[in-house]
Amino acid sequence: QDGAASAEITRGGTLNMIVQPEPPMLIVGLNTQGPTLYVAGQIYQSLLTYREDLKPLPQLAKSWTVSEDGLTYTFNLQEGVKWHDGEAFTSKDVVFAAEEFLVDAHPRWRLIREAYVESVTAPDDLTVVFRLKKPFSAFLYGFELSSFPIMPAHLYQGTDYRTNANNTRPIGTGPYKFEDWQRGSYIHLVRNEDYWKEGQPYIDDLYFRVIPDAASRAIAFEQGTVDLLRGGDVEGFTINSLTSLPGVETTTAGWEYFSPQMFLQPNLRLEVFKNKDVRKAVYHALDRDFIVNAIFFGQGKVSTGPFAESMLFHDPNIQQYPYDMELAKKLIADSGVDLSKHPIRLLGLPYGSTWDRMTEYVKQQLEELGFVVSIQAVDAGGWLQAMGNFDFDLAFSFLYQFGHPAQGVSRIYFSDNQVKGTHAGNNGGYENPEVDEMFRKAADAIDEAEAAEAYTKVQQILAEEVPVLWMFDMKNTTIYRDKIRNPVRTAIGLNEPMDEVWIAR
């Protein structure tokens, strides 16, 4: 990207984007929701980022080494990195994050540290050493911003993180600095003059605008009020019409690290769903091609199994459940279960009209199969509550896979991860010691091939048992005017600091 290319780079300009919904705050250490990450990704940074094939890339860590036994990870930090308030960024900040801040405030790091990390030390200002209790093959996959946000120790150490006065003015190391936030209206970031990458970033101002209505957001893009739409900003059908506008480009790249997968979660504690054949019948009764094409307007890809296609260790050669209503009905008939005796509630995802359509569709199909179905009406809060309390019969859910099965996938199958209060554990109540064993084995493996073998095995078992019904891998389309260059470069897509993005004139 240097040399000849950089000669053409134009500097300056304003990039207008949409943040939807409006994030509650910008402190990534305290909140790792999508919108927060989207904006805060320009302000804060972490040690690593990942290439589209999920290979780790340097960010605040210039380089890293892993010991032979897989128990010691040493990170060498970039030089000359400064916080936005002028303080130098050092290994102290990383240790503070790993040992204090995130332990208290970050739901995923807490668990990893508890299970695997023995100590985190800083031999000098630019070196950090993580020592593990036992090998963890996914360890290197947990160092991008959402998994390991680094907060300025000099501002947070020893304070109440949640009420810290600096929370209203986030201070990071990223290419853009917080300027102002008109709640309900926009968030404004400006170029960080002292950014540690010489001469970068290129754009002067970033505006993240709050437009609550999806149709309005589409208009905003069409009228040129915003230049870039993130996946989910507009409804599926609009994407197609926006894409056909002149001078508009799209990409579905930049989501490989998260690989969100949508699935249908039967509550296995229910008599009717304990029956494997019923689950399979339901799976067969759903025309997932229809869902992806007609309801999501092509914004997805039918899943082939528990691992999203873009995931590491994905194995497509497992049992499949294509749409076949006849077969489904036959399975039910053979199983001898009288579905009408088991009225069920269907818990939809409260994320907008497209998701509602899917719920309505699934309800129809289930009723055709013989179920008596009522839709459980919930808003976002209600959905989390119902999931967290296992108070559902059949629920739509989704999973961010976080680069590695051990980070993102296994958590919903582990027998001992049936924890109330979260939606992303084993909420269905699936229990299979063999699956547990395989996942553990893969996670602890130092050898890649060994892990792959275990993961293949586990995918086969899961495909046979269908504890959850994997619907489709969500496809998120980024739409942008072609004058925006380099918007998506890594597997975390738009959460990546936009230090190489520029706007052509």
Partner 1 sequence: MDFMKRFSLNYGAVIGLLILTLIILMAITAPLLFPGNPWKTVAMPLLRPMQDPSYILGTDMLGRDIAAGIAHGAKVSLLIGVVSTLVAVLIGVTIGALAGFYGGLVDDLLMRFTEFFQIIPAFAMAVVLVAIFSPSFISITLAIAVVSWPSVARLVRAEFLSLRQREFVQAAVVIGQSGPRIILTQILPNAVSPIIVTASLMVATAILTESALSFLGLGDRNTMSWGFMIGAARTMLREAWWMSFFPGLAILLAVLAINLIGEGINDVMNPHLRGRKN
Partner 2 sequence: MLNFTLQRTGKAFVVIVAVVVLNFLLIKLAPGDPAAILAGEAGSGDPQYVENLRQQFGLDKPVVVQLWNYLSGVLTGDLGFSYRNQVPVLDLILGRLPATLLLTGAALIFSLITGVLFGVLAARHRGSVLDSVITALALLFYATPLFWIALMSVLLFSINLGWLPPFDMETIGAGYTGWRRVLDIAHHMVLPTVTLGLFYTAVYTRLTRASMLEVMSLDFVKTAHAKGVPNSRIIRRHVLRNAVLPVFTFASMQTGQLVGGAILTETVFAWPGIGRLMFDALMQRDYPVLLGVFLITAMVVVVVNFITDLLYRFVDPRIGIS
**Which of 152, 172, 254, 348 touches partner 1 by CB under 8 A?**
348
Hey, what are 17's tokens? 């984007």
Shortest Cβ 2–partner 2 spacing (Å): 30
Q: Where are the alpha helices (DSSP H) in 371-421?
A: 380-388, 405-408
Residues 276-295 that bind partner 1 (CB under 8 A): 294-295
**Rounded CA separation 428/467 (Å):** 8
373 by Cβ neighbours in 10 Å (0-12 / 13-18 / 19+) ranks as: buried
Instruction: Please tell me whether residue 375 binds partner 2 under the rule CB under 8 A.
Output: no
**Which of 58, 70, 135, 388 touches partner 2 by CB under 8 A?**
388
- The DSSP secondary structure of 245-295, one letter per residue, reads STTEEEE--S-TTT--EEEEEE-TTSHHHH-HHHHHHHHHH--HHHIIIII
Q: Pick what 348 binds: partner 1, partner 2, none; C-beta below 5 to 8 Å, kind-dependent.
A: partner 1
At 327 the three-state DSSP class reads helix
Residues 310-349 that bind partner 2 (CB under 8 A): none
Span near partner 2 by CB under 8 A; candidates 81-89, 213-221, 290-298, 454-462: 213-221
Interface mask toward partner 2 for 219-238; x: CB under 8 A: xx--x-x-------------
Span near partner 2 by CB under 8 A; candidates 29-37, 39-47, 257-265, 270-278: 29-37
Instruction: Please tell me whether residue 415 binds partner 2 under the rule CB under 8 A.
Output: no
CA dist 215 → 23, 211, 212, 221, 257 (Å):
20, 9, 9, 10, 29
Residues 394-413 that bind partner 2 (CB under 8 A): 411
Shortest Cβ 15–partner 2 spacing (Å): 10
Residues 193-212 that bind partner 2 (CB under 8 A): 205, 207, 209-212
Q: Between residues 184 and 246, which has the closer beta carbon with respect to partner 2? A: 184
Instruction: Please tell me whether residue 188 binds partner 2 under the rule CB under 8 A.
Output: yes
Instruction: Please tell me whether residue 421 binds partner 2 under the rule CB under 8 A.
Output: yes
Residue of 469, 466, 437, 470 lying closest to 454 (CA atoms): 437
Instruction: Please tell me whether residue 245 binds partner 1 under the rule CB under 8 A.
Output: no
Instruction: Please tell me whether residue 241 binds partner 2 under the rule CB under 8 A.
Output: no
**Which of 350, 388, 446, 460 touches partner 1 by CB under 8 A?**
350
At residue 472's C-alpha, the angle toward residues 24 and 243, to 5°, is 70
Residue of 262, 259, 232 lying closest to 398 (CA atoms): 262
Q: Pick what 1 binds: partner 1, partner 2, none; C-beta below 5 to 8 Å, kind-dependent.
A: none
Span near partner 2 by CB under 8 A; candidates 101-109, 150-158, 241-249, 281-289: 101-109
Could you give the dihedral angle defined by the CA atoms of residues 383, 147, 186 and 488, in that order, rounded to the nearest 10 degrees? -110
Residue of 120, 124, 159, 116 lying closest to 141 (CA atoms): 116
Residue of 426, 424, 446, 423 lying closest to 435 (CA atoms): 426
**Rounded CA separation 121/129 (Å):** 5
The amino acid sitting at 368 is: E
Task: Give Cβ neighbours of residue 453 (< 8 Å, ≥ 6 apart).
Answer: none
Q: Pick what 411 binds: partner 2, partner 1, none; C-beta below 5 to 8 Å, kind-dependent.
A: partner 2
Task: Give Cβ neighbours of residue 256 (< 8 Å, ≥ 6 apart).
Answer: 50, 52, 53, 54, 310, 403, 491
Please tell me what DSSP assigns to residue 8.
Answer: H
**Rounded CA separation 477/232 (Å):** 8
Q: Pick what 390 binds: partner 2, partner 1, none; C-beta below 5 to 8 Å, kind-dependent.
A: none
Shortest Cβ 235–partner 1 spacing (Å): 5
Count of residues binding partner 1 (CB under 8 A)? 27
Residues 358-377 that bind partner 1 (CB under 8 A): 359-361, 363-364, 367, 374-377
Q: Pick what 421 binds: partner 2, partner 1, none; C-beta below 5 to 8 Å, kind-dependent.
A: partner 2
Task: Give buried/exposed letters for 226-257 (b at 16+ CB in 10 A, else e).
Answer: bbbbbbbbbbbbbbeebeeeeebeeebbbbbb
Please tell me what DSSP assigns to residue 82.
Answer: B
Q: Between residues 219 and 294, which has the closer beta carbon with respect to partner 2? A: 219
Span near partner 1 by CB under 8 A; candidates 36-44, 357-365, 393-401, 463-471: 357-365
Q: Pick what 67 binds: partner 1, partner 2, none; C-beta below 5 to 8 Å, kind-dependent.
A: none
**Which of 67, 185, 320, 353 touches partner 1 by CB under 8 A?**
353
Span near partner 1 by CB under 8 A; candidates 41-49, 104-112, 235-243, 413-421: 235-243
Instruction: Please tell me whether residue 13 binds partner 2 under the rule CB under 8 A.
Output: no
DSSP element (H, E) containing 220: helix 214-222
**Rounded CA separation 178/172 (Å):** 9
Shortest Cβ 479–partner 1 spacing (Å): 16
Instruction: Please tell me whether residue 57 binds partner 2 under the rule CB under 8 A.
Output: no
What distance separates the 2 farthest-apart alpha carbons in the chain? 72
Q: Are 230 and 487 in contact (CB under 8 A)?
A: no
Measured in residues, the chain has a length of: 505
Instruction: Please tell me whether residue 444 binds partner 1 under the rule CB under 8 A.
Output: no
Which residues of the shown chain bind partner 1 in the complex (CB under 8 A)?
Answer: 214-215, 235, 237-238, 241, 294-295, 348, 350, 352-353, 356-357, 359-361, 363-364, 367, 374-379, 382
Q: Which residues bind partner 2 (CB under 8 A)?
A: 14, 16, 21-22, 24-25, 27, 30-33, 104, 106-108, 110-111, 146, 162-163, 167-168, 182-186, 188, 205, 207, 209-213, 215-216, 219-220, 223, 225, 379-382, 384-385, 387-388, 411, 419-425
